[in-house]
Amino acid sequence: MASPKIEAVVRERHRMAECPVWEEETGRLVYVDINARKVCRWSPLSGEVQTVGLRNRVGCVGLCREGTYVVAAGTCLGFLDWGTQEARWVARLDTDKPHNRFNDGKVDPAGRFVAGTMPEASAPGEWQRGQGSLYSLQPDGSVARRLHGLGISNGLDWSLDHRTFYHVDSLEYCVRAYDYDTHTGGIGNPRLLCRLAQGQGMPDGLCVDATGKLWVACIDGGRVVCLDPETGTLLRTVAMPVSRVTSCCFGGPSFADLYVTSAADGLGPEQLLQEPQAGHVFKVSGLGVCGRAPHCFPC
């Protein structure tokens, strides 16, 4: 198998770039910088990065119609109008947990925006357990809580037949599979798909490719791993030039490239010298596999 080519395409030191989504209509990569409280979008044609700043940490972004995005920031879900740079919040969750914030999210095959929460670390690397939940914002504006008692709700995606939901709880180092009901948005029957060994880092963002396999970013593991969706077996490892690998999505022409985000926050000055590309966004090409177009929230 030919080794893939890894190229830093957005050479900016993002604090915590996350949640990449390929916007096919415009040929742009949309993502967030959680700690910089920004939604970003990058055009490979112009090389330009545009940003919109929000008041709170922004955990994730999903596509609506062009120029409008569904976002989760702080403990709120809402919509961002890129033209006016205004956010309109429609729901506030976890109101009983003042230290929580939204983390990763994605639009499901039926157009719900599914996003999870996590507590902020009380000290570096220390989180209170069981504080996170997973919510879905339905196209009619209502919100349902789907999972609770999570550690750090993180990467998520659906199987090719939409009947299985994959979800990462980073604090448990695990990727779980659940039954998914696309008609109701209901999630049930959890089973452990894979628990990462400590040396592999923490599982973070993930995506499913066009053959159904999972690609999981391993933060502090410096890699993206490809897992078998049935057995959780490690199929491939893509070693990245940075340790804090946060998330990935397929994009570009035919969704043939894997875009990988990373973080600089959490690294000390010495480590930053050793990892000059920390926080950059990378393109991995030549993997020999394609992804699927992301779903859109109908708004």
From the candidates 94, 204, 209, 257, give the one annotated as an active-site residue.
204
Which of the 8 DSSP states describes residue 141? S
Residue 44 backbone zone (phi > 0: left; psi -120 to 50: alpha; other: beta): alpha
Is residue 204 part of the annotated active site? The answer reads yes
Comparing CB distances to Zn ion, the nearer of 156 and 296 is 156
> What is d(CA 207, CA 155) in angstroms, rounded to the nearest whole number?
8
> Measured from the CB of residue 298, what is the shortest distance to Zn ion in angstroms?
25
For residues 107-125, one letter each, b for 16 or more C-beta atoms within 10 angstroms of the residue's C-beta and e for the rest, the string is bbebbbbbbbbbbeeeeee
> Measured from the CB of residue 37, what is the shortest distance to Zn ion in angstroms?
16
Determine if 33 is a binding residue for Zn ion (CB under 5 A). no
> H/E/C letters for each residue in 209-249?
CCCCCEEEEEECCCEEEEECCCCCCEEEEEECCCCEEEEEE
Piece in contact with Zn ion (CB under 5 A), picked from 43-51, 87-95, 97-105, 249-257: 97-105
Determine if 275 is a binding residue for Zn ion (CB under 5 A). no
> Measured from the CB of residue 168, what is the shortest distance to Zn ion in angstroms?
8
Touching Zn ion, residues 162-221 (CB under 5 A): 204-205
Determine if 104 is a binding residue for Zn ion (CB under 5 A). yes
Residue type (1 letter), 249: C
Residue 200 φ then ψ, to 5°: -85, -5
Determine if 23 is a binding residue for Zn ion (CB under 5 A). no
Number of residues that bind Zn ion (CB under 5 A): 4
Residue 8 φ then ψ, to 5°: -80, 115
Determine if 154 is a binding residue for Zn ion (CB under 5 A). yes
> Measured from the CB of residue 247, what is the shortest distance to Zn ion in angstroms?
5
Comparing CB distances to Zn ion, the nearer of 54 and 72 is 72
Q: What is the CA radius of gyration of the chain?
A: 17
Q: Which residues bind Zn ion (CB under 5 A)?
A: 104, 154, 204-205
Q: Point out the residues that are catalytic.
A: 204
